[in-house]
A and B are shown apart, each in its own frame.
Chain A
Amino acid sequence: MDFSFTEEEEAFRQEVRQWLTKEIPQRWYELNTGYWEETDESWAVSRDFHRKLGERGWLAPAFPRKYGGAEMSTTKRFILSQELAHHRAPVGVEVEEAVNWVGPAILMFGSGEQKQKYIPAIARGDIVFCIGYSEPNAGSDLASLQTRATEVSDGYIINGQKIWTTIAHYADYCWLATRTDPTVSKHRGISMLVVDMRTPGITVRPLINILGHHSFNEVFFDDVHVPKDSLIGQKNQGWYQLAAALDFERSSFIVDAFADRTIEELVQYAKETECRGKPLAKDPLIRQELAQAVIENQICRMMSCRLVSIYAKGKHPNVEASMSFLTITNLTKRMMNVGMRITGLYGLLEKDSCWAVLNGEISRLYLTAASVGVGGGTTEIQRNIIALRGLGLPLK
C-alpha cells in the first residue's frame, strides 16, 4: 500500500502549477463563468486554452503519443486534473466529454481509421463532442432509448430526440446512442455512432438551466443521413461501450480539487470576517463544519485515488466508480451548506451584485449542487449498482 507520489510525480505537479500560473489568461478569471454558465466569449477563451494544452499533449494526456497524447500514467493524469481544477482552469465538461469519456471509448472500440480521424483532433483541442444519451423518456432507464438509426446501403438514417445535451450548440460531433435493432431486448439493440453536428437534419434547441444560462439542449434528428463509418465498434453492441464510457464519467478526479480551493477561500473568509466581536473562525460551530468539509473532501480524494490505483493496474472500476460518485455528491452538498453557513446572507448574493462575496461562488454552488446527484446517473441508480452488483443483493 502506498499513498505517496513519487519525486518525479511531485516534480510534474510543480511543472503543471508553474505552467498554469503563466498560461491561464487573466480574462478567464474576469469572466468568472463556472460550470453551466458558458458564454460565447468564455467558450472562445476555453477553446484557445485547450489548444495550448493540446500542444503540450496535456489535453488528452492518456492518449497514445502517436495520436497526440502523452501516454501519461493515471497518477500523473490525476495530478494534472487536480491542478487544473484547483486553478479553476478553463477546462470544463466539454473537455471531460471528449477526452475522458468518448476518446477512451473510441480507443477501446473504434477501428484504426476512426481512431486516426478523431483521436488526434481531440488531443489537439480541434474538436469537441457532445453526449447524446438521455431522451425525454429515457433518463435513468437509459437503455430504453428510442432514437433510431436505420441501416441503409451507404450508412444510417437517424430519427429521434435527445435531451440534456450539454454544449450541443458548440460541439463538432455527437457521441450518439441509438437503437439499431428494436426487435431484441433493450440492452441488445443499441449502437454508438459518432455524428457530425453539421449533418443536415440536426436541430439544436436551447434549454435554460436553473442558473439562467444556456448550457444544455434538446437535439432533434430528422432523417439525418450518416455514413457507415459513423458506427463505433460493433452494431448492437453499443451498450457495453456506453457502460464503459459511463464508468469513465463516474471516475471524476476534479470535484475534490475544486472544493479544496473553495475550502481555502472559506477558511480565509472565516478568519477575516468578524461576527459579534470575534472572527467567524473562532465560532465552534463554524470550526466543526469546516473541519467536516475538510474530512469529506479528503474522503472524496481518497475514493478518486482508489480509482487511479485500479486504473494504474490496468483494471476497470465499476462499483468503485459508483461509490466515488456518491462521495462527490455528498461533498458538493456539504460544500453548499458550509458556504452558506459561513457567509450567511452574503452567500445569497449573485456574482454581479454589490456586496457579493467570494465572487458569488456560494450562491452559484447552491444552484449547481441541484445537478450533482442527478447527472451521470442519479444517486439512487448508483446505490442500486452498489447494492446489486457490489453486494449481490437480489432483484425483486
Chain B
Amino acid sequence: MDYSLSEQQEMLKKSARDFLSSESPKSLVRQMATDEKGFPPQLYRKMADLGWLGLNFPEKYGGTGASFLDLAVLLEEIGRACLPGPFFTSTVLAGMTILKLGSDSQRHELLPQIASGQTVITLATTEPESGYNPDKLKTKASTEGTNYLITGTKIMAPYAHVANFLICTAKTTTGITLFLVDSNTPGIKLTPLKTIASDKQFEVVFNKVKVPKKNILGKEGKGQAQLQQVLLKAAVAKCAEMVGGAQQVLEMTVDYVKERKQFGVPVGSFQAVQHHCANMLTDIDTSRFLTYQAAWKISEGLPFAKDASMAKAWVSDAYKRVTKLGHQCIGGVSLIEDHDMPLFSKRAKAAELTLGDSDYHRELVAQGLSL
C-alpha cells in the first residue's frame, strides 16, 4: 500500500502548477468570465502542446498514454487554478465517451483531433426534466433514410458555442441512443445560460437536426447504460478538480489568517479559526484519498462504481464546507468579486451539482448495499 505519488506524477504536478500559475493567473480567470469565448485559444493550444488534451488517450489515438490517475493529478492542479475552458468537457467527458463507446474509426478520427486541440467536443445530455432521471428524456431521434432527425432541448451543455461536435442523447425506437452531432448542422440553436460559476453553459435546441446513422456512438438503444460508466469516471475526475480547488482555498485561508490582525493579534491565533483550518485540512485529505482510491481503481481496470459514488458524495459536501470556512475565516473581503474566494465557492457549488450531487450518489451507494 502506497499513498504517495510516483516520481513522474510529482513532476507532472509540479510542471502543471508552474505552467498554470503563469499562464492562467486568477486575473485571467476573472477576465474570461465575461469573455464571449470563455478561454484564451492560445492557452488551449499550449495545453495541447504539453500533451494534456489527450493525456489519458492511448498513444495510437494521438494521446499521451497516461493513466486515469495521472489525469487526476493534472485535474487537481487545474482545479487549483480554476482553469477556464473546455478541457473537462472535451478531453474528460467527450474524450472518455468516444474512447469507451466509439467505433475504431470514430476513435481514430476524433481523439487525435481532441488531443491536438483542433476539435472541441461537448456533451449535451441534460434536459429540463431529465437530470438524473433518464425515463423523462424527451429528445427524440426519428429515422429518415440513412439519417436520424433529432428534435429536443438540452440544457447545461458546457462550451457548446465553441464545440465542433455535440454528443447528445435522444430516444430512438429501441431506447436512448448517443449521437455525435456536427455543430454546423442546420437546426441547432444555442442560447448561453448565465451561471454563477461563469462556466459557459448553454441551452441547445435541436430542431430536426440531421445526423447520419454512422454517427451513433456505441450501441443503439443502450446509450444511457453505456454513458453511466463514463459519467461515473467523470465524477471522479470532477472530484480531483474539487480537491485541487479546496487545497488552494486552505492555503489562501492560512496565509490570510497568519497576516490579518484583529484585537492586536493575527486572527489565526484564535482557536476558533485554528479549528476551522484543521477541519478544512481534514476534509481535504479525506477527499484526496477517497478520490485517488477511485482514480486508482479506474486506472487498474478494477470495479470502481462504488468508490466513484463515495468520492463524489463526500467531496461534493467537503468542498462546500471548505469554501464556506474559507469565507468565514477570511471574512468580509472574501465576498468581494475581485477576491479569489468567490471563484472557488461558486465552482464548489457548480461541481457539487454536476455529474450527480451527494444525495444522488449516496443513493447509488445504498443500492450497492442491496438495500
Contact = CB atoms under 8 A, between A and B. Distances in A.
A302 B268 CA distance: 29
Q: Report whether over half of chain B's contact residues are helix, strand or loop; otherwise say mixed.
A: helix
Contacts of B147: none
Interface size class of B (residues with CB under 8 A): 35 or more
B341 interface: no
Contacts of A380: 271, 275
Interface string B178-214: 0000000000000000000000000000000000000
Contact of B290 (A284, A299, A396): A299
A306 B371 contact: no
A85 to B, nearest CB: 18
B286 interface: yes
A271 B369 CA distance: 10
Contact of A75 (B1, B271, B290, B371): B1
B257 A393 contact: yes
A298, A303, A312, A326 — most chain B CB neighbours (10 Å): A298
Given A4-B300, A323-B282, A393-B269, A290 B274 contact: no
Interface in B272-326: 273-275, 277-279, 281-282, 285-286, 289-290, 292-293, 296-297, 300, 310, 313-314
B297 A391 contact: no
A270 B274 CA distance: 40
Interface stretch (A32-40, A170-178, A211-219, A382-390): A382-390
B5 A1 contact: yes
A75 B254 CA distance: 34
B270 interface: yes
Contacts of B268: 393-394
A305 B266 CA distance: 35
A305 B281 CA distance: 17
B4 A1 contact: yes
Nearest to A282: B371
B39 to A, nearest CB: 30
B174 interface: no
Nearest to B254: A391
Contacts of B365: 291, 294-295
Contact of B270 (A78, A299, A396): A396
A309 interface: yes
Interface residues of A, number: 50
A297 to B, nearest CB: 10
B69 interface: yes
A312 B1 contact: yes
B28 interface: no
Given A291-B369, A387-B277, A393-B257, A1 B6 contact: yes
A305 B290 CA distance: 11
Q: Report whether over half of chain A's contact residues are helix, strand or loop; otherwise say mixed.
A: helix
Contact of B310 (A1, A298, A386, A387): A298
Contacts of A3: 1, 292-293, 296-297
A148 to B, nearest CB: 32
A374 B9 CA distance: 39
Contacts of B293: 3, 302
B369 A267 contact: yes
B362 interface: yes
A390 B281 CA distance: 9
A4 B2 CA distance: 8
Nearest to A319: B281
Interface string A46-71: 00000000000000000000000000
Contacts of B1: 2-5, 75, 78, 305, 308-309, 312
Interface in A267-320: 267, 270-271, 281-282, 284, 286-288, 290-292, 294-295, 298-299, 302-303, 305-306, 308-310, 312-313, 320
Interface in A111-138: none
Given A2-B2, A3-B296, A292 B362 contact: yes
Contacts of B281: 323, 386, 390-391
B69 A291 contact: no
A382 B275 CA distance: 9
B265 interface: yes
A184 interface: no
Contacts of B265: 394, 396
Interface string B346-371: 00000000000001001101100111
Contacts of A391: 250, 254, 274, 277-278, 281
Interface string A359-396: 00000000000000000000010111011101111111
Given A3-B1, A295-B310, A383-B275, A396 B285 contact: no
B274 A1 contact: no
B274 A388 contact: yes
B270 A306 contact: no
A320 B265 CA distance: 28
B290 A386 contact: no
Contacts of A82: none
B366 A291 contact: yes
A191 interface: no
A332 interface: no
B278 A387 contact: yes
B214 to A, nearest CB: 40
B325 to A, nearest CB: 12
A276 to B, nearest CB: 16
Interface string A61-99: 000000000000001001000000000000000000000
A386 B282 contact: yes
Given A291-B366, A323-B285, 6 more contacts: A3-B1, A295-B314, A384-B274, A384-B278, A390-B278, A393-B269
29 contacts: A1-B69, A3-B292, A267-B369, A267-B370, A270-B371, A286-B371, A287-B363, A291-B362, A291-B363, A291-B365, A291-B366, A295-B314, A299-B289, A302-B286, A302-B290, A302-B293, A303-B286, A305-B3, A323-B282, A323-B285, A326-B278, A327-B286, A384-B271, A386-B278, A390-B281, A391-B274, A392-B258, A393-B277, A394-B265
The 9 closest A-B pairs by CB, nearest first: A387-B274, A291-B362, A386-B278, A287-B366, A383-B278, A309-B3, A291-B365, A396-B269, A281-B371
Interface of B: 1-6, 9, 69, 250, 254, 257-258, 265-266, 268-271, 273-275, 277-279, 281-282, 285-286, 289-290, 292-293, 296-297, 300, 310, 313-314, 359, 362-363, 365-366, 369-371
Interface of A: 1-5, 75, 78, 267, 270-271, 281-282, 284, 286-288, 290-292, 294-295, 298-299, 302-303, 305-306, 308-310, 312-313, 320, 323, 326-327, 380, 382-384, 386-388, 390-396
